[in-house]
């Protein structure tokens, strides 16, 4: 005989939806951080390439390298804070979940952080 799955109660379903909402929120922060890191890297590389062609950049308030470093730092900081907040929120609801699902957003956030740190080091030490 096939066993019929037991009906989940509304509390467990609500907790599952809340957990998934936290996953989606962290992934949104990962996308935001990825955009900031890649945009900072693009600005840095564009002006590095432009300078290599002999174009002289006029000194301004903020150099392209400094702008790139600031954007990458903001992206990394926002990702770090979002991951900490996500862990705090998940810890609060995990005590009520029957089975804690594995997060896919946290490893992605970790990989993006490593990428961001490499970009930051590249912008700092190659400049």
- Residues 95/12, Cβ–Cβ less than 8 Å: no
Does the pLDDT of residue 41 top 70, yes or no?
yes
Task: Give the tokens for residue 94.
Answer: 């995990």
Place of tokens 């890297």: 41
The Cα 76–Cα 112 span in angstroms is 9
Q: Is the dihedral of CA 74, 79, 85, 88 positive or negative?
A: negative
Cβ neighbours of residue 24 under 8 Å, at least 6 residues apart?
none
**Confidence grade of residue 38 (pLDDT, cut at 50, 70, 90):** very high
Q: Is the dihedral of CA 54, 49, 46, 72 positive or negative?
A: negative
- Residues 50/19, Cβ–Cβ less than 8 Å: no
| Mean pLDDT, the chain, whole residue set | 86
Instruction: Write the burial class of residue 97 (CB in 10 Å: 0-12 exposed, 13-18 middle, 19+ buried).
Output: middle
pTM higher than 0.85, yes or no? no
pLDDT digits (tens, 9 = 90+) for 55-99: 565 667 788 888 889 999 999 999 999 999 999 999 999 888 878
Question: pLDDT over 70 for what percent of the chain?
Answer: 84
- Greater confidence (45 vs 26) lies with 26
The Cα 79–Cα 21 span in angstroms is 17
């Amino acid at each position: 005989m096939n066993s019929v799955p037991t009906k989940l109660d509304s509390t467990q379903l609500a907790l599952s939806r809340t957990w998934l909402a936290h996953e989606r929120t962290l992934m949104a922060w990962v996308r935001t951080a990825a955009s900031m890191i890649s945009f900072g890297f693009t600005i840095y590389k564009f002006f590095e390439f432009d300078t290599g062609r002999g174009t002289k950049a006029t000194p301004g308030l903020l150099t392209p390298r400094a702008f790139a470093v600031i954007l990458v730092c903001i992206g990394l900081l926002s990702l770090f804070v979002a991951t900490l907040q996500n862990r705090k929120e998940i810890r609060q609801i995990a005590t009520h979940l029957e089975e804690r699902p594995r997060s896919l957003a946290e490893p992605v956030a970790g990989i993006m952080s490593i990428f961001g740190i490499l970009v930051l080091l590249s912008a700092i030490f190659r400049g």
